[in-house]
Amino acid sequence: MTCPDRLSALAAILLTCLIAPLQAASGDFKVSTFKADVTPPVGHMLFTGSFKKSTAVETRLEARGFVLLAKDQKPLVVCSVDWSEIRNESYDYWRDKLAEAAGTTRERVLVSAIHQHDTPLDDLGAERALRELGSEHQVIDQKFREDAVSRVVSALTTSLANPQPVTHIGTGKAKVKNIASNRRYLLPDGTPKYDRGSACKILTAQRAPEGTIDPFVHTLSFWNGEKKLLAYSVYATHPMSYYGTGKINADFPGLARTMLQKEASDTFQIYASGCSGNVTAGKYNDGNPDNRSALAKRLLEGMKSASKSTTRQELSSISFKNEKLKVMPRTSPEFSREALTKTITEKDDARSHLIASLGLSWLDRVKAVGSEIDVPSITVNEGAAQIILLPGEIYVDYQLYAQTLAPDRFLLTPGYGESAPGYIPFEMHWQENDHNLNTWCWVNPGMEKPIKEVLQKLINP
The 10s digit of each residue's pLDDT in 408-452 is 999 999 999 999 999 999 999 999 999 999 999 999 999 999 999
pLDDT at 277 over 90: yes
Interior/surface letters 284-300, b for 16+ CB within 10 angstroms, e for the rest: bbbbeeebbebbbebbb
pLDDT at 459 over 70: yes
Within-domain flag for 226: yes
Q: Which amino acid is at 245?
A: T
Q: What is the pLDDT of residues 244-273, one digit of tens each?
A: 999 999 999 999 999 999 999 999 999 999
pLDDT of residue 13: 37
pLDDT at 391 over 70: yes
Burial class (CB in 10 A: 0-12, 13-18, 19+), 266: exposed
pLDDT at 24 over 50: no
DSSP 383: T
Contact 409, 385 (CB under 8 A): yes
Within-domain flag for 7: no
Within-domain flag for 21: no
Within-domain flag for 120: yes
pLDDT of residue 20: 35
Please give the average per-residue pLDDT across 225-254, as a whole number. 97
Contact 267, 220 (CB under 8 A): no
Within-domain flag for 239: yes
Of the two residues 461 and 13, the one the predictor is more confident about is 461
Closest C-alpha among 37, 51, 42 to residue 82: 37
How crowded is residue 66: how many other Cβ atoms within 10 Å of its Cβ? 24
pLDDT at 4 over 90: no
Within-domain flag for 12: no
pLDDT at 456 over 60: yes
Q: Given CA atoms 318, 98, 442, 367 in this order, what sign does their dihedral have?
A: negative
Percent of the chain with pLDDT over 70: 94
pLDDT at 49 over 90: no
Closest C-alpha among 415, 416, 417, 423 to residue 442: 423
At 50, the pLDDT band (50, 70, 90 cuts) reads confident
Burial class (CB in 10 A: 0-12, 13-18, 19+), 354: buried
How crowded is residue 7: how many other Cβ atoms within 10 Å of its Cβ? 11
At 8, the pLDDT band (50, 70, 90 cuts) reads very low
From CA 452, how far away is CA 436, in angstroms rounded?
Answer: 22
Q: Given CA atoms 158, 160, 163, 166 in this order, what sign does their dihedral have?
A: positive
Size (the chain), residues? 461
Within-domain flag for 101: yes
At 191, the pLDDT band (50, 70, 90 cuts) reads very high
Residues paired with 85 in a beta bridge:
121
Of the two residues 240 and 27, the one the predictor is more confident about is 240
Alpha-helix residue ranges (DSSP H) falling in 246-286: 251-263
How crowded is residue 126: how many other Cβ atoms within 10 Å of its Cβ? 29
- Rounded to 5 degrees, φ, ψ at 36 are -155, 150
Within-domain flag for 233: yes
Taking the model in full, what pTM does it have?
A: 0.94
Percent of the chain with pLDDT over 90: 93
**Residue 348: which domain range?**
28-459
pLDDT at 25 over 70: no
DSSP 37: E
Please give the average per-residue pLDDT across 66-93, as a whole number. 97
pLDDT at 15 over 70: no
pLDDT of residue 331: 96
Of the two residues 10 and 351, the one the predictor is more confident about is 351
pLDDT of residue 461: 79
The chain-wide mean pLDDT, for the chain, equals 94
pLDDT at 18 over 50: no
At 21, the pLDDT band (50, 70, 90 cuts) reads very low
Q: What is the pLDDT of residues 325-379, one digit of tens each?
A: 999 999 999 999 999 999 999 999 999 999 999 999 999 999 999 999 999 999 9
When divided into structural domains, the chain yields a total of: 1
